[in-house]
Chains A and B, each alone.
Chain A
Amino acid sequence: MFNYTLRRLLMVLPTLLILVIFAFYLMRLAPGGPFTSERPLPPAVMANVLERYGMDEPLHVQLWTYVSNILCCFDFGPSFSQKDRTVNDVIAQGFPVTLTYGFWSAVFVLVLGIPLGIIAALRHNGFWDYTMTGLAIFSQIFPNFVLAPLLVLLFTLSWGLLPGGGWNGGQWEYVVMPAIALGTSYMASVARLTRGSMLEVLNSPYIRTARAKGLPERTIIIRHALKPALLPTLTYMGPVFVYMITGSVFVDVFFSTGGIGQDFINGAYSRDYAILLGLAILYAVLTFALTLMVDLLYAWIDPKVRAGLS
């Protein structure tokens, strides 16, 4: 188990390095730069600006400076487009926002998705089962970027219950819609997956044995069926987190929450190399951390997997 964790952690650095090198050259080899504008700067000024940001040196030297600054001092460099801020400032300001509604969104996915799936399985072919199947199809057709405008239309424009965007220090009214918009389709997937595996478990022989022993239904579900039924859901959470990170870029832009997604898109527009690279690294690290967490949790719960790892 420990060896496995170590191996996974050791994989992270080379992968990040590949990502950085790839993104770095991709951005630098593209025409244009952060300082090209409609009216070109005089050559002397341009040379000064480039020197100020260390961009007059050969590319591989710049790459080396960038990577070593991160490794030694955790310094992601100054932002090119926002003169008085460093990338660290941008992350320190935006990341907590994204993390907050991301967390509540994950809670929403699990706390609603799992019980819905279980109920649908218990009432197989009943009202709840059909409701849930409908919901699953609905959410496949209404991804977050269609759902979010609909939510704003209903909750803000029609009923005036919730603010249509902004953050305001993370008061709960401002968190609700981003969390729901981000989570709904994954909530439905989790519910569908839980339903499927729960049905399978409920049909297995050991549940029949438990029933034959005369155990009450509640005990059968909670003590015997639940844990194995949740394992597939747990494996699915890794990809879900990755998708949610992708979705958060959209949510940040649409709801103007001030999270890092907005900075990322603005950085792409203004060719802010430093912000783009810094946030790309952050997104990738986040992905690694979350998938590793899920995998370890899985190994911890499922003895079969744990045996396979060591």
Chain B
Amino acid sequence: MILSAARRRLQSRAFADERAPEMIASRSFWADAGRRFLNNRMAVFSVGMLSLLILFSIFGNLFSRWSFEEIDWNVLGRIKEDGGPSLENGHWFGVDELGRDLYARVVQGTRTSLLVGFIAGPVSVMLGAMLGALAGYYGGRLDRTVLAAYTIWLAIPYIIFFVVWQAFFGRSMSQMILVIILVNWTAGLLIVRGQVMMLKNREFVDAARMLGMSDFKIIFRHLAPNVLWVVVIYTSIVIPEVIMMESLVSFLGVGIQEPNTSIGALLSQGASTMTFGTLWQLGFPAAIFVIAQVSLFYIGDGLRDALDPKER
């Protein structure tokens, strides 16, 4: 019944007229990809979840009765009994082991983790992509140098560098972002280099060169748009990795300085007190972490399906 109605509609003249302009207009690669992405229900749902999380981290404090560093002396001695999530005293997520409002702290931690992820991730991919493009385009000694540095860098577990840097140069958020970019500059390098090496021998690059364009212009005007899809996919993979990296070092205690916090630091504190029966201190940060990772995972998946020519 519904099916036949749908079929009638699809075959009707009105439908054809209505859709004709859209069909005739040539569709660009990105419009095409956007359409494919929107058809992926899980990815669209994840974008919604992530947007909610971002809104939560920005505006969450409006609903909080406490600030993230204020100690509630009323519950401090009896956290296990009175410190749990409650609507009466305004601690929606309960309090942490020092009697501070966990809701406000989770808002603050989410903000830190997302900011670090969404700044450090894209910047490090851009850096790697730029180096990769230069190495691939010019080849020769530059290429060999970059590749050698890449190999050496990958052979050193990043945690060494990370811990040393964090412990010695203070633990502010900008330091954290800086060190993540320094650790992660290899992200996306190899694949962009490969793409550029393949593209630089194509006719359109020859044509551009014959028209007298400078190398710089060729790279940014002609090659960059053609490798953009790789960069987008890679960024979507690197952002959750960066958030994870940040959480790991925060868990190890060399993350962002108290009283500021991040999801990793909250997880660590929650894990250290779980023997006392205050499980909400672990549960809420863990839930936020899982929501962020799940939605980023499916968004990345959707982007890969939408953009990668091999997936089509």
Q: A149-B270, A254-B271 are in contact. Are A140 and B159 (CB under 8 A)?
A: no
B-contacting residues, A272-310, CB 8 Å: 276, 279-280, 283-284, 287-288, 291
The answer to whether B252 and A152 touch across the interface, beta carbons within 8 angstroms, is no
The answer to whether B155 and A288 touch across the interface, beta carbons within 8 angstroms, is yes
The answer to whether B169 and A140 touch across the interface, beta carbons within 8 angstroms, is no
Q: A27-B168, A149-B274, A157-B274 are in contact. Are A268 and B155 (CB under 8 A)?
A: no
Considering the chains assembled together, what is the distance between the CA atoms of A206 and B94 in angstroms?
62
CB < 8 Å neighbour of A145 from B154, B248, B294, B297: B248
Instruction: Tell me if B157 is interfacial: C-beta within 8 Å of chain A.
Output: yes
Instruction: Tell me if A235 is interfacial: C-beta within 8 Å of chain B.
Output: no
What 1/0 mask marks residues of chain B from 147 to 179 whose CB sits below 8 Å from any chain A CB? 000001011111111011111110000000000
Considering the chains assembled together, what is the distance between the CA atoms of A288 and B264 in angstroms?
29
Instruction: Tell me if B290 is interfacial: C-beta within 8 Å of chain A.
Output: yes
The answer to whether B168 and A149 touch across the interface, beta carbons within 8 angstroms, is no
Instruction: Tell me if B247 is interfacial: C-beta within 8 Å of chain A.
Output: yes
Q: How many residues of B contact A (CB 8 A)?
A: 38
The answer to whether A245 and B164 touch across the interface, beta carbons within 8 angstroms, is no
Cβ of B53 to closest chain A Cβ, rounded Å: 14
Considering the chains assembled together, what is the distance between the CA atoms of A23 and B168 in angstroms?
11
Instruction: Tell me if A30 is interfacial: C-beta within 8 Å of chain B.
Output: yes
The answer to whether B163 and A246 touch across the interface, beta carbons within 8 angstroms, is no
Instruction: Tell me if A250 is interfacial: C-beta within 8 Å of chain B.
Output: yes
Q: A30-B169, A253-B252 are in contact. Are A264 and B267 (CB under 8 A)?
A: no
CB < 8 Å neighbour of A246 from B157, B251, B270: B157
The answer to whether B163 and A265 touch across the interface, beta carbons within 8 angstroms, is yes
The answer to whether B168 and A265 touch across the interface, beta carbons within 8 angstroms, is no
The answer to whether B274 and A269 touch across the interface, beta carbons within 8 angstroms, is no
Which of chain B's residues have a CB closer than 8 A to the CB of A279?
A: 160
The answer to whether A143 and B248 touch across the interface, beta carbons within 8 angstroms, is yes
The answer to whether A146 and B289 touch across the interface, beta carbons within 8 angstroms, is yes
The answer to whether A149 and B271 touch across the interface, beta carbons within 8 angstroms, is yes
Instruction: Tell me if B303 is interfacial: C-beta within 8 Å of chain A.
Output: no
Considering the chains assembled together, what is the distance between the CA atoms of A253 and B159 in angstroms?
13
The answer to whether A283 and B168 touch across the interface, beta carbons within 8 angstroms, is no
CB < 8 Å neighbour of B168 from A141, A146, A271, A291: A271
Cβ of A239 to closest chain B Cβ, rounded Å: 8
Which of chain A's residues have a CB closer than 8 A to the CB of B165?
A: 26
- Chain A residue nearest in CB terms to B270: A149
Instruction: Tell me if A19 is interfacial: C-beta within 8 Å of chain B.
Output: yes
The answer to whether A287 and B156 touch across the interface, beta carbons within 8 angstroms, is yes
Considering the chains assembled together, what is the distance between the CA atoms of A153 and B281 in angstroms?
13
Cβ of B113 to closest chain A Cβ, rounded Å: 13
Considering the chains assembled together, what is the distance between the CA atoms of A241 and B155 in angstroms?
11
Which of chain A's residues have a CB closer than 8 A to the CB of B253?
A: 253, 265, 269
The answer to whether A276 and B247 touch across the interface, beta carbons within 8 angstroms, is no
Considering the chains assembled together, what is the distance between the CA atoms of A291 and B253 in angstroms?
29
- Chain B residue nearest in CB terms to A291: B155
Which of chain A's residues have a CB closer than 8 A to the CB of B270?
A: 149
Cβ of B71 to closest chain A Cβ, rounded Å: 23
Q: A141-B290, A149-B274 are in contact. Are A246 and B282 (CB under 8 A)?
A: no
Which of chain A's residues have a CB closer than 8 A to the CB of B271?
A: 148-149, 152, 254
Considering the chains assembled together, what is the distance between the CA atoms of A273 and B166 in angstroms?
14
Instruction: Tell me if A15 is interfacial: C-beta within 8 Å of chain B.
Output: yes
Instruction: Tell me if A72 is interfacial: C-beta within 8 Å of chain B.
Output: no
The answer to whether B248 and A250 touch across the interface, beta carbons within 8 angstroms, is yes
Q: A18-B152, A142-B290 are in contact. Are A269 and B167 (CB under 8 A)?
A: yes
- Chain A residue nearest in CB terms to B156: A284
The answer to whether B155 and A284 touch across the interface, beta carbons within 8 angstroms, is yes
Cβ of A280 to closest chain B Cβ, rounded Å: 5
- Chain A residue nearest in CB terms to B301: A137
The answer to whether A149 and B282 touch across the interface, beta carbons within 8 angstroms, is yes
Considering the chains assembled together, what is the distance between the CA atoms of A287 and B244 in angstroms?
21
- Chain B residue nearest in CB terms to A277: B164
A-contacting residues, B263-292, CB 8 Å: 264, 267-268, 270-271, 274-275, 279, 282, 286, 289-290
Instruction: Tell me if A91 is interfacial: C-beta within 8 Å of chain B.
Output: no
Which of chain B's residues have a CB closer than 8 A to the CB of A288?
A: 155
The answer to whether B274 and A152 touch across the interface, beta carbons within 8 angstroms, is yes
Q: List 19 A-B contacts (CB under 8 A).
A: A15-B155, A23-B160, A26-B164, A27-B164, A27-B168, A141-B290, A149-B274, A157-B275, A242-B155, A245-B157, A245-B159, A250-B248, A250-B252, A268-B163, A268-B166, A279-B160, A280-B160, A284-B157, A291-B155
New A-B pairs, 6, CB < 8 Å, besides A146-B267, A146-B289, A253-B252: A145-B268, A153-B274, A246-B157, A249-B159, A268-B166, A279-B160
> Closest 8 A-B residue pairs measured CB to CB?
A268-B167, A30-B168, A149-B271, A246-B159, A141-B293, A280-B160, A145-B251, A246-B157
